[in-house]
Amino acid sequence: MREPVTACVALGANLGDARETVVQSMQAVGGIQGCRLLASSRLYRTAPLQAQGPDFVNAVVRIETNLTAPALLKALQTLEQAAGRERPYLNAPRTLDLDILLYGAGRINSPHLTVPHPRMMARAFVLHPLADVLPDFVSPQDLLRVQAQAIEVMA
């Protein structure tokens, strides 16, 4: 049995009932065999960034997992597919997008997975919810760098 690792996963959606999809998916990520939900962020509404379509609903969960990072990625992609995720072109609108942001202290650079996520420190829709679940990781300076990106906490 592998030693458990703490990982953070970003969730986003902007098609269908995006809010409900993200809320259900937060629980579903914690329900993956070999994973346990430790914390969930608030929900955030953001305009698409380098993408198209309606506003996104975004969140982050912190989990404990004994899955390898590639196995976790595969399980997340299965959840995306179950939610009707299609990839017709780069940054297309999506029913569900799940990204591994952090996997313990691990650094992975493969054709299929890069951890830490390479663009997370430049995205308000990642940093704000990440600060909810891992406050010591996100500094006030990090949030200042993305302050021009519109983001709001959803009620």
The answer to whether the CB of 80 falls within 8 A of the CB of 97 is: yes
Average pLDDT over residues 101-114: 91
pLDDT in tens, 56-91: 999 999 999 999 999 999 999 999 988 876 665 556
Mean pLDDT of the chain: 91
Domain ranges of the chain: 5-153
Bigger pLDDT: 91 vs 30: 30
* From 45, 62, 94, 123, the catalytic residue: 94
* From 45, 97, 123, 132, the catalytic residue: 97
Given this model, what pLDDT does residue 123 score? 94
Given this model, what pLDDT does residue 103 score? 96
* From 99, 107, 119, 123, the catalytic residue: 99
Instruction: Look at residue 28 and tell me whether its pLDDT is greater than 60.
Output: yes
pTM of the model: 0.93
Known catalytic residue: 85?
yes
Known catalytic residue: 136?
no
Given this model, what pLDDT does residue 95 score? 84
The CATH architecture of the domain made up of 5-153 is 2-Layer Sandwich (3.30)
* From 19, 42, 55, 85, the catalytic residue: 85
Known catalytic residue: 99?
yes
**Rounded percentage of the chain residues whose pLDDT exceeds 90:** 73
Known catalytic residue: 94?
yes
Given this model, what pLDDT does residue 94 score? 78
